[in-house]
Structure formats: C-alpha cells, structure tokens
Structure 1
Amino acid sequence: MAKRRIIILGGLAVLALAAGTVAVRTAGFAPKDIADGSDIRLAAAPPYDLDAAVAHLSAAAQIRTISHQDPAENEIAEWDRLHGWLAKTYPAMHRAMTRTILPNRTLIYHWPGSDPAAKPIIVMAHQDVVPVTEGTEGDWKYPPFAGTIAENAVWGRGTVDDKGSLIGLFEALEALAAQGFKPKRGIYLVSGHDEEAGGSGAVAAAAKLKADGVRALFTLDEGSVVLRDTPVINGPAILIGVAEKGYATLKVTANAPGGHSSMPPPETGVTTLARAVLAITEKPFPIEMRGPGAAMIEALAAHKGGTTKMAVANQWLLGSLVKREVAGSPSSAAAFHTTIAPTMLQGSPKENVLPQSASALINYRIAPWNSSADVMARAKAAVGDAPVELTWVKPPNEPSRVSSSSSPGWKYVVAAARADAPDAVVSPYLVVAATDSRSMEPISDDVYRFMPMHFTLKETAMIHGTNEHMTIDSFRRMIDYYARLIATSAG
C-alpha cells in the first residue's frame, strides 16, 4: 500500500512538473527573430492617376506574351510589342532609367543612385503569362485576353500573375520619376521573359548583373500575398516568402521484351513501372516542423493564443498533435516536407502491344532541408532491386537559401506592407512554387517573395485558372506599396 502511494505521488509530481513547464513555456512563447519594421521611417507614395493606371493594366493584359511549353510556339512579336508600349506609356521612368533588352527579350532597367557605396535594390516581375487551357475560353466571364474592366476589376490572363506586379512597378517608378525623385541607392528592375517556362531570362539577367559587379541589399519578386483569412488565426497575415522549394522531376523507366498483348508474361513493363511508382509514393518524406513553415506556425500561434499557442510552444510534449494538424490538408502540409507527385505516364503506342519501355515522371518540390541527392537516394531505396532506371529529366533546381527575417531588407519590405495592413500578423513563408528570384541569390544579400495584394484563400485559386482578375483595390495597394518601398529603401 505504501509503495502504491509512493508511485501515485511520484506520478502526480511528474504531472505537476509537466503542467508547470507547459504553463511557463506558453506564457513566454513568442516567434523568434521576426522584425516588425517599426524602426523604419516610411516615405509617402507620390500621387498618380488610378484610372489611367487601371487602363494601362487592361492594355498590358491584351498583349499576348504567352509562354508555351514549346518555345517555338511563342509569338516573339508580342514581347517586342510590350516593350514598345512600356516605353511609350512611361516616359518619365524611361528618361530616368537605362534600359537593356537581352537577346531573349528579358528586360533590365537601372536607375543609378547618388551613393555608389550603397548597395542597390532589385525589384522583379515577369512579362510572360501561361496559356488559357484549350476549350475553357467559354468558361471565362470576360474574354481572357480582352483586359475587360468590369465589376471593380481588370479581367484577363496575367492580371495577377504577373502583369499586375509588372505594371504596378512601372506605375510606381513613373510616379516617382515624374515628381523628381532622386535615389541614393541604385534601383534595378528585372523582368524575365519566360518565368512560366523555366526562367532562363532571369538566369541571363543575373549573370549580366554579376558581371557588372552588382551586389544588392535585397531582391523582391512575386510569391505570396496579404492573406485575409489565414489558417490558424482566421484573419489577415502578411506572408513574406523567405525561401522557395527546389524543383526536380524524376523519370522512372521499366524496360521489357515487349510483344503481343495476347500472350503477356507474368509481369509486363507497365506492371513493373506501376509497382515502382507506388513504392516511391508510399515512402513519403516525413512532416518536419522546421524552416520557414515552422516560423510561420510560430508567428500565427503566438497571435492566436489559447490552446494553439500552448501546443506550438510545447512541441516537446504535443509535437505529434501539431504535425497531425499541419498534415491535415495538402496545401498546409506542403510547407513541411518534400512533396512527391507522379504526373505523366508513357507506355505502348497501341492498346494491343506490350511496351518495350514504360516510363513515369514524378515531380518533386524539395524542402529547404533536403536536396536532390536526398530525393534520389530515397527513391532508390524505395524501389530496391526492381528492374527500373531512375534518372533526372533535367538537372534539378535545389531549394533556395532561407533569407533573414530581421535584416535591413526584411524591415523595408515589412514596413511598406504594414502601412497598408497595420493589424495583420507578419510572418515568414515558404513559397512552394518556383519564381525568377531564385536566380538573384548569388548577387543579393536577401531575396523576398511578396506581392501586396489582399486575397482570400478562395481568390488565390484563380491564379493560372479561369477568371483571373485583379481588383482595382488590390492594384491600388500594389502601386502604393511599390512606391513606398522604393522611395524608402532607395531614397
């Protein structure tokens, strides 16, 4: 009886200690190393004609700079048309900045600063847009390349991704130039011609800037937004991409004798391939609470408070619960592991012929703590001694480095965003797609991926989808944001 009492008392003591630890950690929990930009003195955005700016976005959306999967299908004259239109529409900016057009149609603008010792800034937005899926044109409320102004928005392919940013930057720079702005810090505007088809233009631009000796304080490109209904807090958050996942496509090939389908062997090339693909996908990368995804969860949980804050603050005890929550949907889970997605299959050219070679493509988006070598090793371990070949379709893009969330560049980006969303939570964010900005890493202290549009989760679905449109309110916010950021960081 005495022994039992000792065991019970001991258990209660452990529980009391655990409860005390949980309480202390929860009370003192706060996100680490996330500056709020409150020490930055913001410059005001200059005046401009919003109606004219909206008409300009409409005109730009009508220029069909469409990046097709096969570059031979691209209408290069449309890029030349866009360049001519930009020069005509923004005369003050073109007087203030030098323009370089690379042979591939990528643009580099430079506004020299008065202080040669100050590191310049780089702002980015790409010129090209994705095609409209054939047969879906009739699903659009307004024609996808008409740039229709209706319902307090500009409708059309590319109005959000990424001509909204491109024209927003040009409007901001034109307004600054027209009012006589004189930067102390140099300004570069880089606009890739093929972001939607691999980003070779940004690679070429970065190579030129590196050869010119450019070392930027920060680079800002597309990537995330102010999300109005952010999960966890169900409210607004300024989500700034501090990193992006790597990109790799694995080809799995099963070779076989082939033959007539009327006399199949016990296992064909297709069944061998199917087993291999299943083996790879059934060995997913684990959910890991680390990197920008973890920083985001910490920032949101600290604001939310209550049991959410308690769980995130005490992952030593409740880590499995937190992981289960973030793994609850593909969109949230993507920030916490390397994803595996089989996308394409190829086999026999005819239904009654056994293929001599069957192949599958598996697309990976690689988390910052993994590498393409990790992906290949995991795939090889999964298939074991199965008679398949594993090769990369092309050299992988490794994950980007993680930029600072407390550096001068971060503070400028955050301060300009908070001016328009003072009650929003500020958080680092992992961009799960790819952007042109990754090419600027070798020449930039930090790289950030953020567009100052205010979106709901539902509204983000239109990007690359049907009925893409930029609201006039969001477009106004973008122009003001870019003008404030440039005037503050370069002024």
Structure 2
Amino acid sequence: MNEKTGQDLPAPITATAPPPKQRSKKTLLAHLLLVCSTLYFMKTYYFDQNLPSYSSSIHNCHHHDEEVIDFAEAQKSLCPISPKIVPEQYDEFKDTVDKILFDPDFRVKSAEKLSGAVQIRTEVTDKTKFLPLDDPSFAPFVDFHHYLKEQFPLVHKSMTKEVVNEYGLVFTWDGADPSLKPLLLTAHQDVVPVEWATEDQWSHHPYSGHYDGEYVWGRGSSDCKNLLIGLMESMELLIETGYSPKRTVILAFGYDEEASGVIGAKKISEFLYERYGKDSMYALIDEGSSGVIAMEGQYFASLATGEKGYLDSMITLTTPGGHSSVPPDHTSIGIMSTFISLIEKTPFKPSLPSYNPLLGMMQCIASYSDEMAPALRQTILNADRDETANKKLIEYLSNDKLTKYLISTSQAVDIIHGGIKSNALPESVSVVINSRVNVDSSVSETQDKIAGNLLLVANRFDLGVVVNGITIKEPTANGLFNYTRSTPLEVAPISPHSGEMWDIYVGSLRHVYEDLVYGEQLEGKPVIATPGMSTGNTDTKYYWDLTKNIYRYQPGALSDSVSLGGIHSVNENVLFQGHLNIVAFYYEYIRNVDSFSSEQ
C-alpha cells in the first residue's frame, strides 16, 4: 500500500562501483497505519484520564474565555453523521448479500479466489520501473491476468478489458446513461518482495495463500489483492444477478504501486485522461485505511481524504582529496556530518490548519466521545477557530511521533555514501533526505528550508552551493555542495467530507456494518465516518486531475486495537470477514450510486 515515491542515491563521484539501489521504506505511519494508529494513540494517551501529568497540564493551561461549545451543536456542525442508506429494492437481492456474508460455501470459494491470487508472485522492486517491459520479471503479471480471466469469466465477457502499458488493467462497465461521470475504483496487482532471510518467521509460506478458516495468509493478502479480488467478485456477482449500471463503472489496476506507480497507475491515468478529460470521474476510491475501530464507547471509520507531499533531497559535497596522513581540519564527511546535525536540530515547525483532515477526525471523536476529559474536548472543538486552543493542541500532538508528523513536515536522513579507502581523504560524500510535506506547506518551502541549512554550513566552511542547477554561492577551492531535488510531489488536494458523494459512500458503509455484519456488537450505535490524513502516498497521486472526490479506504473488520496485518513484513494476513465485507459493500454501493446520486 501507499508509499511510494523513492529515489536511489548515485554513488560518490570516486566510487569504483555503484552501490545497490535501495528502496525508500514506508514510514511508521504508512497509509493503513495512519488512521488506526492515530486513533489508537489518542485512545491510549489523550483519552486516558488516569494520566496525572496530562490532566493537570490541560487544567492549568485552560483559558476561561475559551468558547464553550455545545456537544450537540458540535455534532451537527463539525461532524454530522451521514444517514444510513438501504439500497432500493433491497429485498429483491438480500439473499445474494446474505450469501456473500454468511454462506459457508461462498466463504470457502471466495477464500480460494484470494488464496490463488496470493500464490502468484507479482513482486516489484525499485528497479522495476527501469526494466524493459519484456523482462522475465513481469511474467507473473501475465499469469495473474490469466488467473483473473479464469476466476471471473462474466467480468471479462460483460466489461471491456483494456491493457495499458503491457500489464496495467482497465475494466469498463458501460452505464446506460453516458452523460453521467464514471465511478473509478482502483487497486494494485503488485506486492513488495519477501525478505527470504525471514522465511522461518512466517507461520505459513509467504506465497501459500493459506486459509485457516479465519485468515488468509501471504504476501499481498492485505496489500492489496484482497481489495482487487473483492472488487472483481462484486462485479461478477452484479453481472450474474442481472444488474445493469446506469453510471459507467471503471476498475483500474496498476502494477508497480509499491515502486512509485510510474509505469502502472501513471500510464493508466494518462490513458483515462485522454479518453474522458479533466474532472471527468464521479469519484475515485482506492486502498487506504480499513474497517471500523471501537474507541471510548463509539465506533469510527476514518476515510483518508488527503495525503502529505513528498520530496527527496539529494546532496553531494565534493572536496579536494589527498592522503589521510595530512588531513584538513574537516573532511567532506565531517562537513556533511555538521550539515546533517544542523538538519536534525532544526525540524520543521508543526502547524494544524483547520483544513487538515487530522483535525476533522479529532473533532469528530471529541464531538461523540463520552469519556474524553472535558478540557481536552473543548480544546479540540475550538482548535479551528481559537489560536490559543490550536497552539495547545499542537503542543500535545507534537509529544509523540505517531501524531507529530501528521502536523509537520518530516525530514529523515536515510542514505549516506562517502569515502573509498581508509587512508584516502574522501573527495565526495552524498546523502538523501526524505521529507513528507505538511498539508499547509509545499515542495518549494521544504526545499528552501533544507537549502538554507546548507548555505549556513557552506558559509562556515567556505564552500560553494548549487541548488537544482542554479549557483547560489560560487564554488571555492575548498569544495562545492550540489543540491538536487528528486521525485517532488505536492500535497494532495483535500477531498470533501460532506455532500452527496460522501453521504452515499458513508451511508452505504453504515448499512453493511450496522445492519448486516456487526449489528449486535455495535449495540445500536452508528458507525461515525471521519476524514483522515496519510503521510504516505498511494496511486491516487496520479489521478488528481480526474476528480476532486478521492477516498483512500476499504471496508474491513471491526476491531478495538490496531493491527497492520503484517503489511510489508512477515506474516502478512487478512481477516477474511473483512474481505467479505468488501464484496458485500461494493455489491450494494454500485447500486446506491445509481439510485441516490443526482450528480452528473
């Protein structure tokens, strides 16, 4: 899932051979973890009134003139609950939905479909985007396409299948009304490689697709072949039961999402843009956060409505060489160390604008939680309108890295190369600094801050500075800093979390969760949908021009704790009830969009 831009650092100028290219790993708050871990952090830290230091500090800094917001008004204005939507003519196809969710035979057959998909090793690496498309490493994608055709014959018969850039898949189900904008549903075929040194840590073989009656195990089971297979199952059942959509439905499956999506989703987006044009899609729904989390007596589903930006800063310092027996006061490695130290001593300032989806999520929780400390509740509810409340909330969010980097631009020195021999002065040292750009910042602002740090060090050591090919400070006899930015990605546009499109999506989720699957467990309480924020990036970054309605979420299971399902690690797995929820949801959602949407 998500992550997905990365940059390889070139070898130092004097290196005898290029170093192996390295993958930029997901940050701790990768797309699925983001929402859940934030909720979990707030559950175990902010909402625990047994923490004396927290309770007393909130009390001491609470201002009496801070506006006291009525909770009922907050629920109405800050976090209204979308009405539950029961599909029209539901009784006519209720048996099919019940079969999806509760029939043992269907469950086994569905598990076999996902298991078979997991068994096909559609791995990609950072090198994938540089390979010719006839490279043997792409052969598993051909096998995967054959598998889909075998398992979903009606989809292949009734929907138009198109192959984009050799292995990308686009399935189009033409609607009866061509004037309506198509609904775009996406997933990715590829998976991250298995680290075979960890094979003995897996409960089952990484590509077994083992089904134990409760979970399906294996690479891709939760990231995200479960979503892809779930979408295909939903379409197959809709066709089988005679449904014909009014609005065109498009399935788009890239094949290198785990390696930045350059040859997969990017090419598919260009293909769709050429055919349909700008702002041509009704909505786009991709992988992301999943399921429902129980917290403080309420139930929340957080849909990621935004993603942070991305920047790799590649910095190379070249200095004169020589014998290490007569060194200068500071070698290039020492100077670069000074720069790195300065970077880490000057983090980006946190900020929490009213449009940050994290604040929207927190205000939803504060509006409905019965157990949150009253002072904290008021601080959260006032944070979008009161400067003092906003500052207090930023202070608390900054106390833990689980939330700190949802309100600030990150900077991580991830790769460094320098020196070739112990008795030779290093003539070149290079680093890569990876940044995830905060919602109210930009790539250029991030670059300027890092370049500013660089200039301070250059002035101290009398070095030249070049930034993206522009000379900022002339090279000197002491050396030169060369700063090149790579893979820049601006902050994603924030999708709306109100209005008809949102209400239909959330209302459909509520019906599946509340009426069909978890009714008794929810104790009659609603599932409350909130906006959410991701620090990682998904394939959605290529589709911004096609729609403003982009949501990163997949139906899943109900839980009271955080579980990543081994994504990108050992023992990747998916709770199979969550997979069935995907199938049932999209079986209903397609119908609901046709029945209840008035948007063109």
Q: Structure 1: which amino acid aligns with 2:218? A: G
**Corresponding residue for residue 206 of structure 2:** 144
**Corresponding residue for residue 418 of structure 1:** 510
**Corresponding residue for residue 79 of structure 1:** 141
Instruction: Provide the aligned length of Structure 1 versus Structure 2.
Output: 474
Residues 173/351 of structure 1: CA separation in 2 closer, same or farther (3 Å cut): farther
Partners of 2:209 and 2:217 within 8 A in 1 = yes
Matches within 5 A, 1:105-254: 105-150=167-212, 152-200=214-262, 201-213=264-276, 215-228=280-293, 233=296, 236-254=299-317
Offset at residue 241 of structure 1 (A): 0.9
Offset at residue 367 of structure 1 (A): 1.9
Q: Does 1:465 align with 2:510?
A: no
**Corresponding residue for residue 124 of structure 2:** 67
1:239 and 1:213 mapped to 2: Cα distance?
Answer: 30
2:72 and 2:65 mapped to 1: Cα distance?
Answer: 11
**Corresponding residue for residue 292 of structure 1:** 357
Partners of 2:78 and 2:363 within 8 A in 1 = no
Partners of 2:291 and 2:578 within 8 A in 1 = no
Secondary structure of the residue aligned to 2:402 is helix
Offset at residue 35 of structure 1 (A): 5.2
1:432 and 1:74 mapped to 2: Cα distance?
Answer: 33
Unpaired segments ≥5 residues, structure 1: 1-14
**Corresponding residue for residue 406 of structure 1:** 498
Q: Does 1:439 align with 2:542?
A: yes
Residues 287/42 of structure 1: CA separation in 2 closer, same or farther (3 Å cut): farther
1:229 and 1:277 mapped to 2: Cα distance?
Answer: 42
Partners of 1:342 and 1:362 within 8 A in 2 = yes
Offset at residue 70 of structure 1 (A): 1.2
1:38 and 1:183 mapped to 2: Cα distance?
Answer: 23
Secondary structure of the residue aligned to 1:332 is helix
1:24 and 1:33 mapped to 2: Cα distance?
Answer: 11
Q: Identify the range of structure 1 (242-251 vs 457-466) with the bigger mean alpha-carbon deviation.
A: 457-466
Partners of 2:175 and 2:245 within 8 A in 1 = yes
> Which among 347, 350, 357 is matched to residue 421 of structure 2?
350
Offset at residue 430 of structure 1 (A): 0.8
Q: Does 1:303 align with 2:406?
A: no
Secondary structure of the residue aligned to 1:225 is strand
Q: Does 1:38 align with 2:83?
A: yes
1:151 and 1:329 mapped to 2: Cα distance?
Answer: 38
Partners of 2:201 and 2:570 within 8 A in 1 = yes
> Which among 110, 131, 136 is matched to residue 53 of structure 1?
110
Q: TM-score, normalised by structure 1?
A: 0.90
2:191 and 2:71 mapped to 1: Cα distance?
Answer: 46
Q: Structure 2: which amino acid aligns with 1:164? A: N
Offset at residue 235 of structure 1 (A): 5.4
Partners of 1:26 and 1:309 within 8 A in 2 = no
Matches within 5 A, 1:264-303: 264-290=327-353, 291-303=356-368
Partners of 1:187 and 1:490 within 8 A in 2 = no
Q: Structure 2: which amino acid aligns with 1:38? A: P
1:183 and 1:276 mapped to 2: Cα distance?
Answer: 59
> Which among 317, 340, 351 is matched to residue 411 of structure 2?
340
Deviations 1:51-92 (A, max 9, x none): 111101000000010011211487211000000110111011
CA-atom RMSD in angstroms: 2.4
**Corresponding residue for residue 94 of structure 1:** 156
2:405 and 2:587 mapped to 1: Cα distance?
Answer: 33
Offset at residue 374 of structure 1 (A): 0.6
Partners of 1:248 and 1:392 within 8 A in 2 = no
Offset at residue 325 of structure 1 (A): 2.2
Deviations 1:113-147 (A, max 9, x none): 00111111000000000011241111111111111
Q: Structure 1: which amino acid aligns with 2:114? A: L
Q: Does 1:22 align with 2:22?
A: no
2:569 and 2:76 mapped to 1: Cα distance?
Answer: 35
Partners of 1:33 and 1:405 within 8 A in 2 = no
Q: Identify the range of structure 1 (27-36 vs 189-198) with the bigger mean alpha-carbon deviation.
A: 27-36
Deviations 1:253-300 (A, max 9, x none): 221113333332111111111111221222222221221111111111
**Corresponding residue for residue 450 of structure 1:** 553
Q: Identify the range of structure 1 (110-119 vs 334-343) with the bigger mean alpha-carbon deviation.
A: 334-343
Residues 32/66 of structure 1: CA separation in 2 closer, same or farther (3 Å cut): farther
Q: Identical aligned pairs, as a percentage?
A: 26
Residues 138/26 of structure 1: CA separation in 2 closer, same or farther (3 Å cut): same
Residues 438/318 of structure 1: CA separation in 2 closer, same or farther (3 Å cut): same
Partners of 1:57 and 1:164 within 8 A in 2 = yes
Offset at residue 323 of structure 1 (A): 1.6
Residues 349/320 of structure 1: CA separation in 2 closer, same or farther (3 Å cut): same
